[in-house]
A and B are shown apart, each in its own frame.
Chain A
Amino acid sequence: MKITEQDARYVADLAHLELSAQEIARFVPQLDEILGYMDKLNELDTTEVEPMAQVVYQQDELETLRADQDRPGFSQETALANAPDSGAGHFKVPKVFERG
């Protein structure tokens, strides 16, 4: 077994994901099979290989920094328009601290 129910609960917690007992029971064998398949990569010796994080190709140096100038952005009203809960120009969230 690559992954147990306990591991799955731990990972779900890291990912802020609520999973039901049925979901855990269904996912564990699937995740285990997929992770087992991924072990295939260990057949390759990659000691000398540089990891590839992005696609690279020949091109002129990019201007990745824009000029430091004011530009119009979204109004507060627009930025809050999709918020599930807002008020007084802010996003509103439930209590951050647990009750003692």
Chain B
Amino acid sequence: MELRGLTIARVRSALESGETSAAALAEQVLAYAQQENQRNNAFLAFSPERALAQAQRIDEMVKRRQPLPPLAGVPLAVKDVIVTRGLRTTCASRILANYVPPYDATAVRRLEEAGAVILGKTNCDEFAMGSSTENSAYAPVRNPRDLERVPGGSSGGSAAAVAADMCVVALGSDTGGSIRQPASFCGVVGLMGTYGRVSRYGLVAFASSLDHIGPFGKTVRDAAALLEVMAGRDPSDSTSAAVPVPGYLAELDRPEARDLRGFRLGVPREYFAAGLDPEVGDRVQAGIERLRGLGADIRDIRLPHTDYAIACYYIICMAEASSNLARYDGVRYGVRSPRCRNLSLAECYRATRGEGFGPEVKRRIMLGTYVLSAGYYNAYYRKAQKVRALVARDFSEAFRDVDVIVTPVAPTPAFRLGEKTEDPLRMYLSDIYTITASLAGIPGISVPCGANGAGLPIGMQILARHFNEPAMLRAAHAFELSG
């Protein structure tokens, strides 16, 4: 069947009508993805056995005319920082080159129980640290819209796989924009729920107070469908929220969800200041006008601490990363340096970590260790935690007057491979519009809102208060339908 633009609903109707079987579809998508992968490196590994076993279970249900689960037969790609039982999970790092997890992440288990067919593991920045997927220890991912450009990051493989129709939906992880920014660069939908909305159990930890698992789709509806299956309390993640999960799809199906009458929509002027590419600014402004046309009441708002968010975010995420990555010691799993044979245990740790981690991971471990070290803890780490409270307060105050906030996702469209690799600070600065929501723990979605003159996709970000995914999805869905 036609893979281009293939959605969950289309897979469903094809299975129900007998146009294809889940097994035939899985084989078709796998063959296509393996061929495309030679051009864009979106996948690190494919899992045909697991995919076909699952597809055959679905086909058996079809044959017996059993009710099909919501994601029956839907080809899914999983970012390689999310563990999958029996499938190698490398975090795109040499230090985990041979790691085969003995368990599935809760999100993966829930999606598979809902019928999804796991095709393989997608490429990303090493341990999700990066904004371009150039920090993969294996190969940089290329943007399917322009192979000379990055797909964004860190979930660049998942975004590229969805954009190139190498899967129908994908999982990514978002710590400071790692789902939303690549979605914007590749022209697909990417969603980060409220912190705690989706269990982090089985997401390899980078910065625990900021990490999220979230979906990519070709439509808002498909991203919402994955969120609905994954969301909810998980006893294995003590930070997963015990807040009831609303029916996101039912919300989008309400007849009044097609327009935005009565919706109060905030536009923060700090997000349209210096540093924003003019074409990106124009497209997002045009998007805001479309939302106004749908009946939304557009209001100017202020988020005054925006300018401090990058410094605040990087201190916190590096501190948490240096602590989380202490576990890679070459003892219980992962690769141990071959030099260890002649070394003491302490020297073996150093050799293993020195050989196993790439440059960006080392930089972050160094900076994280520095800001947590005696004499610097208060000046950097504690200061950043205080500024984090101010950034979060900006949002709480703004959401008294508006239902959702609309901003650009990234200051520019996809940049060229190699353009920023020698300048880490410049790479960090490009995360400005996504990290504020990460610090506050509020949900955000990136929806395509056109392209620049060169045809590169541009995304628009919609944010909502904690657990108000329904409002965020409704605005994004109405916007998408109006295009």
Binding site for B on A (CB under 8 A): 3, 7-8, 11-12, 14-20, 23, 26-27, 30-31, 33-35, 37-44, 46, 49-60, 62-64, 66, 74, 78-79, 81-85, 91, 93-98
Contact = CB atoms under 8 A, between A and B. Distances in A.
Interface residues of B, number: 75
Contact of B385 (A7, A11, A20, A51): A51
Given A59-B242, A60-B242, A84 B385 contact: no
B242 A78 contact: no
Given A53-B385, A84-B330, A94-B347, 20 more contacts: A3-B370, A15-B326, A15-B353, A15-B366, A16-B326, A17-B357, A18-B351, A27-B366, A41-B315, A44-B308, A50-B386, A51-B382, A55-B466, A59-B241, A62-B242, A74-B102, A82-B102, A83-B331, A84-B334, A94-B343
Contacts of B307: 40
A84 B242 CA distance: 39
A18 B357 CA distance: 10
Contacts of A97: 344
A74 B85 CA distance: 12
A94 B388 contact: no
Contacts of A98: 344
Interface in B254-269: none
22 contacts: A8-B366, A11-B369, A15-B369, A16-B349, A17-B350, A23-B359, A27-B366, A34-B428, A38-B314, A38-B384, A40-B308, A41-B315, A44-B305, A44-B308, A51-B389, A52-B388, A55-B441, A55-B466, A57-B241, A64-B238, A83-B333, A96-B345
B312 interface: yes
Nearest to B102: A78
Which of B196, B322, B370 has most A Cβ within 10 Å? B370
Contacts, number: 172
A18 B343 CA distance: 13
A19 B349 contact: no
B50 to A, nearest CB: 18
A12 B387 contact: no
Given A12-B366, A15-B366, A38-B380, A46 B386 contact: yes
B206 interface: no
Nearest to A83: B332
A94 B167 CA distance: 44
Contact of A37 (B311, B334, B365): B311
A43 B308 CA distance: 9
Name the residue in A27, A38, A49, A82 with the highest tally of chain B Cβ atoms < 10 Å from its Cβ: A38
B354 A19 contact: yes
B423 to A, nearest CB: 8
Interface in B339-368: 340-341, 343-351, 353-355, 357, 359, 362-363, 365-367
A78 B428 CA distance: 39
Contact of B389 (A50, A95, A96): A50
B209 interface: yes
Given A34-B428, A52-B386, A85 B336 contact: yes
A31 B344 contact: no
Given A16-B353, A46-B387, A38 B315 contact: yes
9 tightest A-B CB contacts, nearest first: A55-B441, A18-B354, A51-B385, A82-B333, A84-B336, A46-B386, A52-B389, A18-B350, A55-B195
B425 A82 contact: no
B362 A27 contact: yes
A54 B424 contact: no
A16 B193 CA distance: 35
A85 B341 CA distance: 11
Contacts of B353: 15-18
A49 to B, nearest CB: 4
B351 to A, nearest CB: 5
A25 B129 CA distance: 22
Interface in B291-334: 305, 307-308, 310-312, 314-315, 322, 326, 329-334
A15 to B, nearest CB: 4
Contact of A55 (B330, B370, B382, B440): B440
Interface in B14-31: none
A81 B315 contact: no
A19 B334 CA distance: 19
Interface in B84-136: 98-100, 102
Contacts of B322: 15
A59 B331 CA distance: 40
B392 interface: yes
A52 B331 contact: no
Contacts of A15: 322, 326, 353, 365-366, 369
Given A49-B390, A52-B392, A31 B370 contact: yes
